[in-house]
């Protein structure tokens, strides 16, 4: 049961009547989402204006469908996915592409995979777009304007998916397609959302040919692989012993965090591994200079040797 009223042209607040009429003129009926959104004429107007601006953006029809459907899936909004399958089909988007989007399949052209990946990043980045995510998007052939238009599209759909989480509208009969039926009982469940899981490599610290990711983001959590005091881009520890290796390891952590939209103040847990536990105090003197007094939780252990002959390795978790 919805906590909101589904409005008609006659029951809608005065500020929403013209806006609802516009929705009816476009689709031939007052769509359920707009009928609920009419409770706030301001939200309805902002949503419709954002829609108009996104329609006029630098992305083509297929690319818009990627942003819309990906946002619906990631935000677990069945209504959004269903409506935009219909709209994509009406706009001439290839049926195989729509199917791949709805199923969260990787059977998409490389360009669209890059767009979907960046869209997911924008959805889950907690307001901080990572340098590496943007660089990867641009390397796929997109422009800075395209990136900003993705932000516009995600913003528009975030308004509606939040509204729909409260209103719980039934998918309009006019939006029913082979991909999403009118009710949960008339079609298979939507593909599972990714929860924002991203496998990240900035290339700023670790060589890219290693058998692990520099970091993995899951929702707002960032899991960093252990960092050593290596010269960036190599697997060679810096000279100078425990103090210099500790300093370089912390700098590498800082570089990696910033590349992915985080900072040292976002670290919530560190695990420290030392080749010689007697060097603990020397490590600690360097470590504490990287925090402003609000220290992360921490565990430490002495190891019987570390990879690459390193003196120290530090594994971190960061959160937003």
Residue extents of the structural domains in the chain: 14-186, 198-319
Q: Where are the beta strands (DSSP E) in the chain?
A: 198-200, 215-218, 221-224, 227-228, 267-274, 297-302, 312-319
- Quick: pLDDT tens for 232-248: 999 999 999 999 999 99
Using pLDDT thresholds of 50, 70 and 90, give the confidence band for residue 2: confident
Least confident of 113-117, 131-135, 284-288, 311-315: 131-135
Distances (CA, A) of 241 to 244, 252, 282, 309: 6, 16, 10, 11
Mean pLDDT of the chain: 92
pLDDT > 70 in the chain, percent: 95
pLDDT for 182: 66
pLDDT for 79: 95
The pTM assigned to this predicted structure is 0.73
- Quick: pLDDT tens for 200-211: 888 899 887 899
Using pLDDT thresholds of 50, 70 and 90, give the confidence band for residue 159: very high
pLDDT for 5: 94
**Is the predicted pLDDT of residue 188 greater than 90, yes or no?**
no
Which residue, among 164, 33, 59, 169, has the nearest Cα to 116 in the 3D structure? 59
Cβ neighbours of 50 (radius 10 Å): 18
**Is the predicted pLDDT of residue 14 greater than 80, yes or no?**
yes
Report the helix count and the strand count for the chain, using DSSP H and E.
Answer: 11, 7
Q: Tokens 């420290």 belong to which residue? A: 272
User: 3-class SS at 151?
Assistant: helix
Distances (CA, A) of 1 to 14, 165, 242: 25, 11, 62
**Which of 3.40.50.450, 3.40.50.720, 3.30.1330.40, 3.90.1640.20 would CATH assign to domain 198-319?**
3.30.1330.40
pLDDT for 278: 94
Least confident of 19-33, 169-183, 246-260: 169-183
Which residue, among 226, 200, 189, 204, has the nearest Cα to 103 in the 3D structure? 189
Using pLDDT thresholds of 50, 70 and 90, give the confidence band for residue 128: confident
- Quick: pLDDT tens for 42-75: 999 999 999 999 999 999 999 999 999 999 999 9
The 8 Å CB, 24+ separation contacts for 133-136 are 133/198, 133/200, 133/260, 133/261
CATH of domain 14-186: 1.20.1290.10
- Quick: pLDDT tens for 25-35: 989 999 999 99
Using pLDDT thresholds of 50, 70 and 90, give the confidence band for residue 190: low
């Amino acid at each position: 049961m919805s906590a909101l009223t589904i409005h008609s042209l006659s029951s809608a607040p005065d500020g929403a009547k013209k806006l609802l009429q516009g929705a009816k003129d476009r689709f031939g009926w007052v769509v359920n989402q707009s009928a609920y959104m009419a409770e706030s004429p301001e939200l309805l107007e902002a949503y419709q204006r954002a829609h108009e601006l996104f329609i006029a953006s630098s992305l083509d029809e297929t690319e818009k469908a990627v942003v819309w459907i990906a946002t619906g899936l990631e935000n677990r909004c069945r209504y959004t996915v269903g409506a935009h399958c219909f709209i994509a089909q009406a706009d001439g988007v290839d049926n195989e592409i729509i199917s791949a989007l709805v199923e969260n399949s990787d059977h998409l052209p490389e360009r669209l995979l890059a767009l979907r990946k960046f869209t997911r990043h924008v959805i889950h980045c907690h307001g901080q777009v990572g340098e590496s995510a943007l660089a990867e998007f641009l390397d796929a052939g997109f422009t800075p304007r395209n990136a900003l238009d993705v932000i516009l599209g995600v913003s528009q759909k975030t308004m509606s998916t939040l509204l729909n989480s409260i209103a719980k509208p039934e998918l309009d009969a006019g939006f029913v397609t082979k991909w999403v039926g009118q009710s949960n009982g008339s079609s298979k469940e939507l593909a599972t959302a990714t929860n924002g899981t991203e496998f990240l490599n900035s290339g700023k610290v670790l060589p890219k040919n290693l058998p692990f990711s520099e970091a993995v983001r899951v929702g707002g959590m960032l899991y960093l692989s252990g960092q050593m005091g290596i010269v960036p881009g190599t697997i060679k520890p810096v000279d100078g012993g425990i103090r210099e290796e500790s300093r370089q390891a912390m700098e590498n952590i800082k570089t990696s965090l910033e590349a992915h939209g985080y900072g040292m103040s976002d670290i919530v847990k560190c695990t420290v591994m030392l080749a010689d536990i007697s060097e603990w105090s020397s490590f600690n003197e360097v470590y504490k200079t990287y925090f402003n007094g609000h220290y992360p939780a921490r565990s430490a252990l002495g190891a019987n040797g570390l990879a690459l002959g390193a003196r120290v390795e530090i594994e971190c978790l960061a959160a937003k």
